[in-house]
Structure 1
């Protein structure tokens, strides 16, 4: 329960939230700059091989051993890594070749809505707020996919790739609590990246991409380095700190703040258009995500006291 979470100093919570908002919100911009001269799948693969190696290496040094996962944990990390990082972030990078960064962020923001859909398919009963959020959210997705919301010659294929990315990430998120993973979240992330990274490079090479670093522009290099460091390590560390030192309702606000940050940065730095269709669709999706996350937190808050009472009744 949230009141059981040890609280950190307010100023530290504020700093970590700011890091999460600005860094993760700006990764969409960085991806857009990276794919200007770096092949998307191979570039994403390099990003996660390096970041995953650093995260796993850090965990290995702290534990003073290299084999940190058992077979079940490795299987869980591989499955979720392929879905969330390979499918979700890999397809996001591919889609941003033709889709503006702000619009891409709004499409990816629909991910919690797809998770709620999979829960419905699994015959779980969501709260009314979740159902209302689904209707509002998918209305927003339709507005974004409609030609009037593009604000320019955006490839429809790119938008479909981004929808597939959101669905892949949602499937991975749906299965995450249903598979065995290491208790150390940093270790889990490192293992997931080390599985997905080489896979993305292999798929990129099979698709005809060429890894020619000498042909990459300076801007793309800096974007890649930013995605490896702050984008894959610093922001994730801030999220883990917040989840253990702040209420989950505060820690997960990035889900609806980051798209707004991405829209603003894309408009300011890359001169991306903010059409009425994009703004309306984005507002619907962000509103829906707030409703869905609120409804799911209410379900969790109701289940935990019941589970505690059940366990107390069984204690000797």
Structure 2
């Protein structure tokens, strides 16, 4: 569909879905891990969602394996990094870290991507450098113990930083590997590779999977993460990337952390300390600068190409 012919209200509706659903997944994860083992629960989420996405693509293609081995290998690697490493570690970290604070730490992911591009000797736009300085200043403010406003385990924060780095590595390598042209198929394969990996890892570390002991709230949170969180929102993102400018579609990168903060404060009574607000503002501003600088550089070079995947 021609972007110029896409009704503005349809773009607005899909943006709203993306903001509200992905912005609320941090809250849902926090509720889920109250009684559901983090790694096993994440594995269940992505196995079920992956089966739905992959099954849909198989039905449409009328082939049970509608991709070649190279595409499968690329999707598998990215799935292990972004879903297994990034989202798996996010779930693990939220056992001890408030959902809003977790969202802000994960929001630093584009900053790490920019760092990897620097290490690869790619020449960044000056705005990217300003964004890196602001963003990592925000991370330092968030990690300062005096700004937590409560008992937050440093181990949990370290796990979340590792999650952001894992997602960044996956995002950095995404345009460098061969993936299925169908983004829904690619996501389905990534989930079906990472999901079982998370389940096995959960069993290895001794997680006790006893559905009878899971609370009703945790069950609802898991179902929400499977349906809206892993299927509906990603469908909206794919729709936006094909019918709206990339700069509009990817605004979720700096809108979602703000939504996560507000929801955590309203529903779970999470504290919004001055340090959290200041650090969060620096990170969100930095992400805006980095994404703006990247798009400006891509536009000037005429080689703009982007693929995105989130919680």
TM-score under structure 2 length normalisation: 0.96
Residue 149 of structure 1 and its aligned partner are, at CA, apart by: 1.6
- The equivalent residue for 2:270 is 272
Equivalent in the alignment of 2:225: 227
CA shift, 1:166, in A, is 0.2
Q: Is the 8 A contact 1:7 1:246 kept in 2?
A: no
Cα deviation code 1:248-298 (max 9, x no counterpart): 111111000000000000000000000000000000000000000000000
| Alignment length (residue pairs) | 303
CA gap 1:81/1:117 in 2 versus in 1, 3 angstroms = same
Q: Secondary structure at the match of 2:12?
A: helix
Match of 1:83 in 2: 81
1:192 Cα deviation (Å)? 0.1
Residue 171 of structure 1 pairs with residue 175 of structure 2: no
Residue of structure 1 in register with 2:246 after alignment: 248
Q: Per-residue deviation at 1:5?
A: 4.6
Aligned mates of 2:197, 2:3 — CA distance in 1 = 37
Q: 1:112 aligns with which of 107, 110, 113?
A: 110
Partner of 1:207: 205
Task: Report the 3-state secondary structure (helix = DSSP H, G, I; strand = E; otherwise coil) of the residue aligned with 1:202.
Answer: helix
What does residue 120 of structure 2 align with?
Answer: 122
Mapped to 1, the partners of 2:146 and 2:109 lie a distance apart of 23
**What is the rounded CA distance, in whole Å, between the counterparts of 2:112 and 2:240 in structure 1?**
24
Aligned equivalents of 1:45, 1:301: Cα separation in 2? 38
**Alpha carbons 1:6, 1:244 under 8 Å: kept:** no
Structure 2: distance between partners of 1:240 and 1:63: 18
Bigger CA radius of gyration: 1
Q: Gaps spanning 5+ residues in structure 1: where?
A: 307-316
User: Which residue pairs with 1:239 in the alignment?
Assistant: 237
Answer with 207-216 or 105-114: which moved more: 207-216
User: In the alignment, what sits opposite 1:56?
Assistant: 54
Runs of 4+ in 1 over 6 A off after TM superposition: none
> Given that residues 108 and 162 in structure 1 are in contact (C-alpha distance below 8 angstroms), is that contact kept between their aligned partners in structure 2?
yes
1:207 and 1:8 map into 2 onto residues whose CA distance is: 49
Question: Does structure 2 retain, via aligned residues, the 8 Å contact 1:102–1:266?
Answer: yes
The aligned residue for residue 314 of structure 1 is none
Q: Deviations over 1:113-170 (max 9, x none)?
A: 0000000000000010000000000000000000122111000000000000000000
DSSP-derived class of the 1:182 partner: coil
Tell me how far apart the structure 1 counterparts of residues 160 and 49 of structure 2 sit (CA, whole Å).
23
- 1:92-112 deviation digits (Å, cap 9, x = unpaired): 000000000000000000000
Task: Rate the CA distance shift 1:127–1:55 in 2: closer, same or farther, 3 A.
Answer: same
1:183 is aligned, of 178, 181, 184, to 181
The Cα of 1:6 is off from its aligned counterpart by: 5.2
Q: For residue 67 of structure 2, what is the aligned residue in structure 1?
A: 69
Provide the residue aligned with 1:158 in structure 2.
156
List runs of 5+ in structure 2 lacking aligned partners.
Answer: 305-311
**What's the TM-score once normalised by structure 1's chain length?**
0.95
Residue aligned with 2:50, SS: helix
Match of 1:12 in 2: 10
Distance 1:125 1:166, change over 3 A: same
Cα distance, 1:305 vs structure 2: 7.6
